């Protein structure tokens, strides 16, 4: 690293020295979040919030393309309403925040600050659904939720966080299952194509599924340190909530029926996933699709005649093809290079007197620091090409790293040894018994990440008990 960058780079702990501190250093120094006076509640400054806004825009467009509409539900849930679905309330009880007073007066019934909104949607659907003609209901909500976590980390686990939650109702079980799988595919496609994060798609075990769901599907990503990050989930509820909330409709055969329900969500936790998948010891590395600044223009020797004018001319020229910004502050070019590397800007455009003479500029990629000399006449076509090259480069690097961190185990001894010695995922067969899943967690420290859709046979026996097994499971440590 160039000497002029040292001052900034010293603020980041190398990831191989202390991964947790490296992560926190990037979060703070790249101005992604700040701490509030309430434990576990994040402040998202403009740069951090802009990343979330870009993720929102991508997802919101895809939701609307698949027929979904945005709605807004209340922040508070009456205790009696939350209690209607026993498995659901039991799953969330330890994390619920309660409101007991309105002003100075005690409330007759406690109000829960929403940890998720299934019950609110069900209360509404019970009034809004009467006939099969009212179905499907394809609703999504953008909001924040509160879960009273004991241990918090920025983005990964916070008391309050931003997310979207889709809640849909369908005429048949088949339609609801198709919706569940369709929305999981939306998440997988967004993660892989827009965020350049390779994922494994699969079904959660019953132990790991969402409270009140019949089936939970997940996209699991691997971070730099080999741990898994559950990056998006889609749940099939069957008609369990509908029965609990007495949601019924008149079917095509003129009989009363219960609709079938789904829910699905992705949160600001995915920003943590971006940091831990793509970041390096110089800071954040952002996929172009969500980078608030895709191209930063750095005038070199800006005190010389014509340099700032040309830099601003390029700014105006490129605003139609990318999110572009110019830094014409008094700081040195070296300081600016390090600053925008820290903030993960995908492309750096350098323009100085010699470049102007040669009708060219220098473009440096953040992902691999590759320099390219580009004619100013070709800039508008070259920038999109380079942004796509950055996306592809980030995805391939993450994919190759994940490939090298997936192991196999055929018995408990091998599983425990691998878990202790090698970070990453372990593929191993499972008989389906909860007792084996719990024993693997206790002895190897690994949880089931998912039963992948793309199955393969590591052996024909359960890694834990040795009984016949036909389910291959990805096991791993997770955030």
- Whether residue 15 contacts residue 7, with contact meaning beta carbons closer than 8 Å, is answered with no
pLDDT recorded at residue 400: 98
Other CB atoms within a 10 A radius of the CB of residue 325 amount to 15
Q: What's the confidence (pLDDT) of residue 94?
A: 83
Q: Which pTM does this prediction carry?
A: 0.94
Name residues of the chain where pLDDT drops below 50.
1-9
One domain, residues 156 and 55 = yes
pLDDT of res. 10: 54
Same domain, 201 and 272: yes
Does residue 172 sit in the same domain as residue 81? Answer: yes
CB-CB neighbours of 136 under 10 Å: 20
Three-state DSSP class for residue 283? strand
Residues 326 and 187 in one domain: no
Give 301's contacts (C-beta < 8 A, 6+ positions apart): 307, 352, 353
From the list 452, 472, 454, the residue with the least C-alpha distance to 463 is 472
- Which of residues 338, 357, 390 is at a domain's end? 390
Shared domain check, 410 and 366:
no
Report the alpha-carbon distance of residue 451 to residue 445 in Å, rounded.
18
CATH number assigned to the domain comprising residue 449: 3.30.110.30
- Locate 336 and state its tokens: 């600016």
Same domain, 379 and 437: no
- Tell me how far apart the alpha carbons of residues 302 and 92 are, in angstroms, rounded to a whole number: 57
State how far the Cα of 433 lies from the Cα of 417, in Å rounded to an integer. Answer: 22
Examine residue 7 and state whether it is found in any structural domain, yes or no: no
- Using a 10 angstrom Cβ sphere, with 0-12 exposed, 13-18 middle and 19 or more buried, the burial of residue 3 is exposed
Dist CA 266 CA 192 (whole Å): 14
How many whole angstroms separate alpha carbon 114 and alpha carbon 109? 15
């Amino acid at each position: 690293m160039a000497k002029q960058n040292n001052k900034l780079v010293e603020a980041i702990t190398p990831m191989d020295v202390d991964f947790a501190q490296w992560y926190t250093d990037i979060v703070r120094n790249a101005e992604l979040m700040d701490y509030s006076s309430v434990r576990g509640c994040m402040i998202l400054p403009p740069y951090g919030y802009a990343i979330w806004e870009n993720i929102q825009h991508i997802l919101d467009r895809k939701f609307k393309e698949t027929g979904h509409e945005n709605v807004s539900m209340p922040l508070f849930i009456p205790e009696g309403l939350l209690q209607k679905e026993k498995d659901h309330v039991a799953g969330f009880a330890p994390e619920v925040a309660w409101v007991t007073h309105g002003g100075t007066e005690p409330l007759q019934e406690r109000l829960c600050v929403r940890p998720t909104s299934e019950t609110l949607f069900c209360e509404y659907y019970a009034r809004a659904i009467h006939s099969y003609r009212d179905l499907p209901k394809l609703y999504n909500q953008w909001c924040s939720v509160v879960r009273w976590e004991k241990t918090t980390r920025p983005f990964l686990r916070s008391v309050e966080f931003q997310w979207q939650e889709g809640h849909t109702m369908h005429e048949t079980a088949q339609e609801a299952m198709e919706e569940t799988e369709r929305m999981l595919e939306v998440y997988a496609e967004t993660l892989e194509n827009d965020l350049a994060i390779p994922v494994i798609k699969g079904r959660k075990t019953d132990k790991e599924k969402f409270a009140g769901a019949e089936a939970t599907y997940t996209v699991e990503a691997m971070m730099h340190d080999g741990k898994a990050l559950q990056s998006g989930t889609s749940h099939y509820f069957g008609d369990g909530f509908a029965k609990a909330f007495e949601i019924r409709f008149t079917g095509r055969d003129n009989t009363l029926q219960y609709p079938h329900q789904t829910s699905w969500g992705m949160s600001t936790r995915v920003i943590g996933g971006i940091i831990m998948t793509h970041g390096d010891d110089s800071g954040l590395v952002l996929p172009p699709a969500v980078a608030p600044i895709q191209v930063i223009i750095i005038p070199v020797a800006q005190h010389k005649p014509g340099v700032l004018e040309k830099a601003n001319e390029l700014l105006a020229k490129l605003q139609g093809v990318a999110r572009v910004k110019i830094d014409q502050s008094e700081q040195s070019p070296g300081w600016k290079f390090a600053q925008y590397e820290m903030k993960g800007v995908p492309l750096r455009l350098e323009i100085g007197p010699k470049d102007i003479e040669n009708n060219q500029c220098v473009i440096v990629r953040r992902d691999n620091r590759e320099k390219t000399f580009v004619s100013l006449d070709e800039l508008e076509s070259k920038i999109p090409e380079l942004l796509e090259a950055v996306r592809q480069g980030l995805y391939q690097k993450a994919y190759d790293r994940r490939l090298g961190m997936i192991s196999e185990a055929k018995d408990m001894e091998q599983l425990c040894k691998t878990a202790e010695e090698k970070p990453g995922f372990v593929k191993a067969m499972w008989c389906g018994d909860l007792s084996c899943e719990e024993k693997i967690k206790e002895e190897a420290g690994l949880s089931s990440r998912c039963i992948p859709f793309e199955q393969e046979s590591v052996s024909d026996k359960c890694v834990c008990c040795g009984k016949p097994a036909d389910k291959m499971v990805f096991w791993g440590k997770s955030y």
